[in-house]
């Protein structure tokens, strides 16, 4: 018991929490933007896989790490465009289309990886992002080691939370996006085009999701391998509900989630006799429990999963 408490007070645990949370923050923000505009994007798992592959490949082919992130965003947006085309103008089932996008994006990522990369006994590696201590701030005791000695994509994720929250709450663009998710007919009445807003929201959201995948291959690890996203996308979909579709709470949810994950990873080394699978199960079980806890009082965007057809109720 004391050992467990000791773990909780180390800076390295809390630094790991932020690291583990980073792909979730990107994923949950991306999913949130899509859903606030009224489109469920179950393509997330595949889009993250695609982002992971494209980000890694760009660097492997000699590109800059930042170029890797940019290419990942573009690849994610391309997949998002496809999902948007199928679900918004065509009004197809968002569930099935999303699953199809996940199957397509991950299959395509694996196919192209195998096609373009010679894999020996071990997958080839790149030189990933290194921690980037922020001058001055990183000298703050404890907090400096936890928050201000991370890799650059983690800072990007944290800044993005604030940016998305501000955009949604304070800008006309954000208002239009939220309105599209609540009542697209009212948006039309304002002279705006809800179809175009939804398409852009899904594309931007998907681009952000892809960053979550790219973080895995360019900062957390240094190689790409099949199955590496490991259900993080699905966990993000659960986290959006848990966060009641709010960016601030999404950050909180991702951190809480990462805390459990980092804690169980360290607990595994201390507690003996418990099969490791039980620890690995924790994040998935936790997601389901989180869903049950909030589902009753969650305020879902009114028009989520409602296809919009002009002049039809």
CB of 214 to other proteins, least distance (A): 20
Of the candidate residues 13, 99, 175, 192, the single one contacting other proteins (CB under 8 A):
99
Residue 8's CB is within 10 A of a number of other CB atoms, namely: 12
Contact 11, 244 (CB under 8 A): no
Residue with Cβ nearer other proteins (113 or 148): 113
Which of the ranges 16-24, 160-168, 200-208, 291-299 carries the binding residues for other proteins, by CB under 8 A? 291-299
Nearest Cα to Cα of residue 39 among 184, 208, 247, 186: 184
d(CA 244, CA 168): 14
d(CA 38, CA 306): 7
Q: Verify binding: residue 310, other proteins, rule CB under 8 A.
A: yes
Which of the ranges 120-128, 160-168, 256-264, 295-303 carries the binding residues for other proteins, by CB under 8 A? 295-303
Site string for other proteins, 179-218 (x = CB under 8 A): ----------------------------------------
Q: Verify binding: residue 280, other proteins, rule CB under 8 A.
A: yes
Q: Which residues contact 108 (CB under 8 A, 6 or more apart)?
A: 50
Contact 206, 34 (CB under 8 A): yes
Residue with Cβ nearer other proteins (90 or 163): 90
CA angle, 83 then 70 then 219, to 5°: 105
Residue 36's CB is within 10 A of a number of other CB atoms, namely: 25
Residue with Cβ nearer other proteins (40 or 251): 40
Q: Verify binding: residue 95, other proteins, rule CB under 8 A.
A: yes
Name the one residue in this structure whose structure tokens are 């199955």.
Answer: 227
Q: Verify binding: residue 274, other proteins, rule CB under 8 A.
A: no
Q: How many residues line the site for other proteins (CB under 8 A)?
A: 46
Residue with Cβ nearer other proteins (139 or 285): 285
Nearest Cα to Cα of residue 16 among 276, 220, 253: 220
State the angle between helix axes of 232-242 and 44-60 in degrees (0 to 180), rounded to the nearest 10: 130
Q: Verify binding: residue 264, other proteins, rule CB under 8 A.
A: no
Contact 211, 69 (CB under 8 A): yes
Q: Please give the DSSP secondary-structure letter assigned to residue 273.
A: S
d(CA 154, CA 215): 8
Residue with Cβ nearer other proteins (66 or 110): 110
Nearest Cα to Cα of residue 307 among 30, 43, 96, 38: 38
Q: Verify binding: residue 287, other proteins, rule CB under 8 A.
A: yes
Q: Please give the DSSP secondary-structure letter assigned to residue 10.
A: -
Of the candidate residues 159, 270, 271, 278, the single one contacting other proteins (CB under 8 A):
278
CB of 100 to other proteins, least distance (A): 4
Of the candidate residues 222, 234, 265, 267, the single one contacting other proteins (CB under 8 A):
234
Q: Verify binding: residue 273, other proteins, rule CB under 8 A.
A: no
Q: Verify binding: residue 66, other proteins, rule CB under 8 A.
A: no
Contact 298, 56 (CB under 8 A): no
Residue with Cβ nearer other proteins (91 or 133): 91
Q: Verify binding: residue 295, other proteins, rule CB under 8 A.
A: yes
Q: Verify binding: residue 115, other proteins, rule CB under 8 A.
A: yes
Instruction: Using CB under 8 A, list all residues that contact other proteins.
Output: 42, 82, 86, 90-93, 95-97, 99-101, 103-104, 106-108, 110-111, 114-115, 230-231, 234-235, 237-238, 241, 275, 277-278, 280-281, 284-285, 287-288, 291-292, 295-296, 298, 309-311
């Amino acid at each position: 018991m004391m050992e467990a408490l000791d773990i909780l007070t180390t800076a390295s645990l809390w630094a790991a929490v932020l690291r583990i949370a980073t792909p979730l923050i990107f994923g949950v923000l991306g999913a949130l933007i899509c859903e606030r505009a009224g489109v469920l994007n179950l393509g997330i798992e595949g889009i993250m896989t695609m982002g992971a592959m494209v980000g890694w490949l760009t660097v492997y082919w000699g590109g800059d790490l930042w170029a890797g992130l940019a290419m990942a965003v573009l690849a994610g947006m391309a997949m998002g465009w496809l999902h948007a085309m199928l679900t918004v103008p065509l009004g197809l089932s968002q569930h099935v289309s999303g699953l199809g996008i996940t199957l397509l994006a991950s299959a395509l990522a694996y196919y192209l990886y195998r096609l373009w990369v010679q894999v020996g006994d071990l997958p080839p590696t790149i030189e990933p992002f290194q921690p980037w201590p922020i001058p001055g701030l990183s000298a703050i005791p404890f907090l400096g080691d936890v928050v201000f000695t991370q890799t650059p994509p983690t800072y990007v994720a944290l800044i993005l939370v604030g940016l998305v929250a501000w955009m949604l709450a304070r800008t006309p663009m954000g208002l239009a996006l939220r309105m599209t998710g609540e009542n697209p007919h009212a948006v039309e009445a304002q002279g705006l085009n809800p179809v175009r807003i939804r398409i852009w929201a899904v594309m931007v959201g998907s681009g952000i999701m892809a960053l979550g995948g790219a973080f895995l291959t360019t900062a957390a690890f240094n190689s790409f391998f099949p199955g590496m996203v490991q259900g993080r996308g699905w966990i993000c979909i659960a986290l959006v509900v848990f966060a009641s579709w709010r960016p601030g709470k999404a950050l909180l949810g991702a951190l809480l989630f990462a805390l459990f994950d980092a804690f169980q990873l360290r607990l595994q080394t201390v507690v003996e006799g418990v099969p490791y699978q039980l620890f690995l199960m924790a994040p998935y079980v936790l997601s389901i429990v989180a869903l049950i806890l909030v589902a009753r009082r969650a305020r879902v965007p009114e028009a989520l999963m409602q296809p919009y057809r002009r002049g039809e109720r």
